[in-house]
Structure 1
Amino acid sequence: QLFTSTTGLLYTPVFVGPAMLGFIPGYYNSAFGLYGAWKSWGGPGDNPTTPNGWYGQAGIYDGRGAQGVQTGLVWPNFSGPLFKVAEVGGTWTPYADAPEVGWGSVAVGGWRQSGPLTAPGGAFESQTGGMYAYLVQKLGKFRETKDQNGIVGFVQGGWNSSSTALMHSSFGFGLTFIAPFGDRPLDSYGFGFSWARLNANPLAGYGFNSYETMLQFYAQYHLVGNLFIQPVLTVLPTPGVMGATGPSISGTVQLTFPF
């Protein structure tokens, strides 16, 4: 997802939409598949290096991961369950005659997972599917300089028709403050909010409440070279686990070395 390049949030929704969790292949279980894309880029002076336009992309992948198969450890198989996904979207960057227009991206996608699919409590379905959408937009700058300073916002959401999924639908948003202080051009700060409607059906057997909310705050400080340190605070005002006696608060500190 585009979010991973516009926010330093560590929670799952910025990497995998909650309504797709358990179906879409990804870290740590990759899956083989076929992927194709079409892009129509234009830009200031029709410069293809500054994309403004629309795109479409689709893929079909080994879908056995939804059945608990460790697809990263076995040979691909396309005669069984498959995960299919397609997405259309658009991107924009500032035009030479309208530099106040910030870059952004919007997309809508749909997916389908074939089965059979089961849940711990015995729920069963032969296939399922869902939809998702997201919007990312740069909202403004702190100063007119060449560094990548500014405020970036995002909104995301998803839904599925599954009776075996961990979550049925989700909604989230967040803000990233990039280099708000001129003498710290590589620092960033941000927060995100995520709400998810959980699969609380007793036949699914997950032991969830009907929904969960999550807030996360982070600061990403540049140390030296490509090394960053990031303290993160995560708050669950309404935990999803049934029987939770109150909100959950946790802290994380991580070192990041992009290369």
Structure 2
Amino acid sequence: MVIVGLGVDGEKKLGWKGGSFGVNFLQINGQNTNGYAGALPGYNSIVAAPPFHRTELYEYWIAQEVIPDTLKIRVGKIIPAVDFNNVTRANKLADRSQNVSSLSSLLYTSIFVNPTLLGVIGGYYDSVFGTTANIALNRNSWLNLGVYDGNRARGVPTGIHNPHFNEYVFAISEIGTDWVAGPQKHPGQFGIGAWYQSGRLNAAGLYNDQQQTGAMGLYLYGGQRVWADVPAAADGQDSQTQKSKSLTIFYQFGVNNAKTLPVNQFIGVGATAFSIFDSRPDDSFGAGFGLSFLNRNLFQRSSELMFQTYYQASIVPGALYLQPTVTFIPNPGLPSNYPGNDALPPGMQPFLPAAFVGTLRLSAIF
């Protein structure tokens, strides 16, 4: 998978006050790894919905800061999952040693998209055309609003299609806040959101087709640093440039009323340890689990549980990382003959056995 992008600060380059624009190109050649394991919310977020081989204009957008440091509007083909339910939102503080660049480096899908939103919200790699408004209520609180092409809900791979303007619209809003707590000023955050999907929704059920006009849901998420060992400054060194050992937790919840989406409720938690080894301050270790309550109109299993753990080793700090990840799924939600599992022989047995999966990822940032 390769993403190549260009972003331009319109004020610096063109004298366009408060303006910017960008474009991203995506190329991916994958396979149905999640389907083979029976993972309904994927254990490997690099591969999402079919088609698995894509060449697409991933994003193209323009943005305008309407009220400086308060209101920014972005229009174009964008990724709503970046602005909404972003569990991995970074915490940047005055003390740089306390910064949290991301709450977790878990690979499973639910860390990026709450499973109760799968099938409606635009994300990797099915971006959607629409408008996002980011509003800073004060220094520590935000309100995000968005309206987008909602044709993902009828199975359209929007990432490789031009925008549709019809009855299918996806609208979402989120309000949140962040803070620092305790004498060590541990950062924390919390967000809560609501969404609505319009249009006539259909899905092939176990016993009869499911139909519904419109669907809605709620979600919440949060994170908190719970421990840190802030190092004393070495001779001639600024303490704010030293990375501290720390432990951060996160949590997620979602619910919807959809008859046609795969997951109706979700609960997830996890933890990440940063800079645990003095000799490797840029490494991190994490673990998490997610419990998805499946739509019983569509699946015979009532739930799917997923455990995942990883170690992210810094090869070149800030540029190159190697990450082995292990996932265990005791009760995969997808049946063996689920559409797309063409590599597996269809059979009468609706359940796949427990899956134990290893993943090795090399990430380059440039």
**Structure 2 length-normalised TM:** 0.63
Q: Which residue of 2 aligns with 1:193?
A: 289
| Equivalent of 1:222 in 298, 301, 314 | 314
Give me the whole-angstrom Cα distance separating, in 2, the residues matched to 1:208 and 1:11.
Answer: 22
Is the counterpart of residue 25 in structure 1 residue 117 in structure 2? no
| Equivalent of 1:164 in 252, 255, 260 | 260
- Pairs within 5 Å for 1:22-171: 22-42=119-139, 53-93=140-180, 99-121=183-205, 122-144=209-231, 146-171=242-267
Q: Which residue of 2 aligns with 1:236?
A: 329
Q: Is the 8 A contact 1:7 1:190 kept in 2?
A: yes
Q: How many residues align?
A: 242
Q: Which residue of 2 aligns with 1:2?
A: 87
Q: Is the 8 A contact 2:132 2:146 kept in 1?
A: yes
Unaligned runs of 5+ in 2: 1-85, 90-101, 233-241, 336-349
Q: Deviations along 1:68-92, whole A, 9 cap, x unmatched?
A: 1222233323332000000011012
What's the offset of the Cα at 1:179? 0.8
Unaligned runs of 5+ in 1: 43-52
Distance 1:78 1:149, change over 3 A: farther
What's the offset of the Cα at 1:245? 5.6
Aligned residue for 1:2, secondary structure, equals coil
Aligned residue for 2:167, secondary structure, equals coil
Q: Is the 8 A contact 1:229 1:253 kept in 2?
A: yes
Aligned residue for 1:65, secondary structure, equals helix
What's the offset of the Cα at 1:29? 1.1
Give me the whole-angstrom Cα distance separating, in 2, the residues matched to 1:34 and 1:245.
Answer: 40
Q: Is the 8 A contact 1:142 1:180 kept in 2?
A: no
What's the offset of the Cα at 1:148? 4.7
Give me the whole-angstrom Cα distance separating, in 1, the residues matched to 2:180 and 2:352.
Answer: 47
Which amino acid in 1 is paired with 2:283?
D
Q: Deviations along 1:21-75, whole A, 9 cap, x unmatched?
A: 0110111111011111221333xxxxxxxxxx22111100000111112222333
Give me the whole-angstrom Cα distance separating, in 2, the residues matched to 1:214 and 1:38.
Answer: 35
Which amino acid in 1 is paired with 2:222?
L
Which amino acid in 2 is paired with 1:219?
Y
Flag the structure with larger Rg. Answer: 2
Q: Deviations along 1:192-219, whole A, 9 cap, x unmatched?
A: 0100100122xx3xx4400010000100
Which amino acid in 2 is paired with 1:228?
Y
Give me the whole-angstrom Cα distance separating, in 1, the residues matched to 2:153 and 2:331.
Answer: 27
